[in-house]
Structure 1
Amino acid sequence: MPTRFILIEPSHSGNVGAVARAMKVMGFDDLVLVAPRWDDVLTRQEAVDRASGATEVLARARLVATLDEAVDGLDVLCATAMTPRDFGPPTATPREHLPRLAGTAQGVGFLFGSERYGMRNEDVYRCHVALTIPTAPDYGSLNLAAAVQVIAYEWRLALGGYGVEPAAPAAAAADAQAVAGMLAHWEQALVAIGFLDPQAPKKLMPRLNQLFNRAQPTPEEIHILRGVAKAMLQAAGRGKP
């Protein structure tokens, strides 16, 4: 779905580069800057450095003079405002609102205010929703790039996310006979090293049996455990070297 990230009057070139990086890792590349502090912000060294390889996002980014130019062609505008307004669009968290938006919108713009003063009321009022990121009540100040990263992640998630390689299937657990054979081997070894008194075994072996039943060792792990038992027997002089 066409998605545009719009920075209104950004004042730090490093933040612009970091925003480009945040966008790229979530698969977005349409960035528009409205009246930035620096005319050469997209090529300033700090922006390039903070982009950390997302230079193609900077290369295709556009600078415009007005917000009207920035939102041209979009049908849904989302403000990002941490402070609720008495008047204006409804306020919602990205997690609750964006999944509903993903199935209906044709072109979405996410608007971010200046680092110095946030979004102006008049810019928020023209939006369809004000997205607020849940933060700690006593400190809700998010860096511009951090806010973009959160919104970009939540929007990508709402659009279906990216596939994750499935984990390799877990190896099958060893059967009960293999576990019993390993425990018999361990019982011999524990007696040999003096850890288990065969005259007063108490419940050591049943407890170990329960432990390994919970652990569900694989045949390879049973082989390792039997190797440990063999080494204990050899150390105690009871096994063949």
Structure 2
Amino acid sequence: MTTRFILIQPSHAGNVGAAARAMKVMGFDDLVLVKPRWDDVLERDETIERASGAVDVLQKARAVETLEEALEGITHLCATVMTARDFGPPTRTPREHLEPLAPRGESVAFLFGSERYGMRNEDVYRCHVALQIPTDPDYGSLNLAAAIQVVAYEWRQCLGGFGAARPPATPAADAQAVAGLLAHWEQALVEIGFLDPKAPKKLMPRLNQLFNRAQPTPEEIHILRGVAKAMGEAAKKAKP
């Protein structure tokens, strides 16, 4: 299964570098340029600078003369368009089209037109779908790298994604620790005059439920008990 990003007649070196960066952060590295403006675009300083570390994608990329060469080995073609084409393939959002496509294991190419005039009708017509990124109706202009980033993200999510990086979870304190915290707080609340031990009403059960919902960690239990201790000491100092 191949995922290829094809840039048709790219005219700005910086956009090629930014495209490589957008692909790399989503785990893709198959980039093909069709008749780029610059023969040496993959080695130009601006390209490398805008790639921001995705030099391996540029080194693997290739430039070809025709779209037919770029499509070798590809079985499913996705054009990217701002407006639907009459007599062209169906126009769908990336997510709508790509979710059912992912399990089929096809070799997919995403085609992006020139920055100056987009994709030609004849290139769109040969594709299986025209992908249209939902944007504000009053301003739908995405630059090339931004469009690639959105499509690459949507396709990666359909392929299973990477998952968000999260810090290791800290286990919640056990019930005994929470009970000790409640007892300490009850004592402190009495000492500062907030809780009347003769008429406690539902304060402590409600605090118990609050702490159960919060699921404090052992470190947080330690902090809260320090607060209770400080309240008790302040109450003692305040007494005549």
* TM-score over 0.5 for the pair: yes
What is the CA distance between 1:169 and its match in structure 2? 4.9
What is the CA distance between 1:73 and its match in structure 2? 2.6
What is the CA distance between 1:111 and its match in structure 2? 0.5
Structure 1 Cα separation of the partners of residues 124 and 133 of structure 2: 15
Aligned to 1:22: 22
Query: Which amino acid counterpart does residue 183 of structure 2 have in structure 1?
Result: A
Structure 2 Cα separation of the partners of residues 162 and 182 of structure 1: 40
Aligned to 1:190: 189
What is the CA distance between 1:64 and its match in structure 2? 1.5
Structure 2 Cα separation of the partners of residues 203 and 164 of structure 1: 41
What is the CA distance between 1:181 and its match in structure 2? 3.5
Which deviations, in whole Å up to 9, do the C-alpha atoms of 1:104-162 show, x marking residues without a partner? 35422110011111111111001111111111221111110111111112222222333
Aligned to 2:236: 237
Which deviations, in whole Å up to 9, do the C-alpha atoms of 1:73-104 show, x marking residues without a partner? 32221101120111111111111211322233
Counterpart secondary structure, 1:122: helix
Aligned to 1:126: 126
What is the CA distance between 1:197 and its match in structure 2? 5.0
Aligned to 1:135: 135
Contact 1:174/1:217 (<8 A) preserved: no
What is the CA distance between 1:231 and its match in structure 2? 2.2
**Where does 1:129-168 land on structure 2 (aligned, <5 Å)?**
129-162=129-162, 168=168
Contact 1:102/1:158 (<8 A) preserved: yes
What is the CA distance between 1:212 and its match in structure 2? 2.0
Structure 1 Cα separation of the partners of residues 131 and 155 of structure 2: 12
Counterpart secondary structure, 1:79: strand
Structure 1 Cα separation of the partners of residues 199 and 64 of structure 2: 85
Aligned to 1:213: 212
Q: 1:163 to 1:201 in 2, by over 3 A?
A: closer
Aligned to 2:68: 68
Structure 1 Cα separation of the partners of residues 36 and 148 of structure 2: 17
Query: Which amino acid counterpart does residue 131 of structure 2 have in structure 1?
Result: L
**Where does 1:164-179 land on structure 2 (aligned, <5 Å)?**
168-175=168-175, 178-179=177-178
What is the CA distance between 1:59 and its match in structure 2? 1.5
- TM, length-normalised to structure 2: 0.87
What is the CA distance between 1:163 and its match in structure 2? 5.7
Structure 2 Cα separation of the partners of residues 66 and 108 of structure 1: 18
What is the CA distance between 1:201 and its match in structure 2? 5.2
What is the CA distance between 1:20 and its match in structure 2? 0.5
Structure 2 Cα separation of the partners of residues 158 and 200 of structure 1: 59
- TM, length-normalised to structure 1: 0.87
Aligned to 2:52: 52
Q: CA RMSD in A?
A: 2.4
Q: 1:166 to 1:67 in 2, by over 3 A?
A: same
What is the CA distance between 1:195 and its match in structure 2? 3.8
Q: Mind listing any 5+ residue stretches in structure 2 that lack a counterpart?
A: none
Query: Which amino acid counterpart does residue 122 of structure 1 have in structure 2?
Result: E
Structure 1 Cα separation of the partners of residues 190 and 29 of structure 2: 68
Query: Which amino acid counterpart does residue 110 of structure 1 have in structure 2?
Result: F
Structure 1 Cα separation of the partners of residues 210 and 73 of structure 2: 63
Aligned to 1:117: 117
Structure 2 Cα separation of the partners of residues 217 and 104 of structure 1: 45
Q: 80-89 or 70-79: which moved more?
A: 70-79
Aligned to 2:226: 227
Structure 1 Cα separation of the partners of residues 180 and 221 of structure 2: 9
Which deviations, in whole Å up to 9, do the C-alpha atoms of 1:179-222 show, x marking residues without a partner? 34422322322233344455665654443333223223344433
Identical pairs, percent = 76
Contact 2:89/2:124 (<8 A) preserved: yes
Structure 1 Cα separation of the partners of residues 12 and 143 of structure 2: 11
Query: Which amino acid counterpart does residue 67 of structure 1 have in structure 2?
Result: L
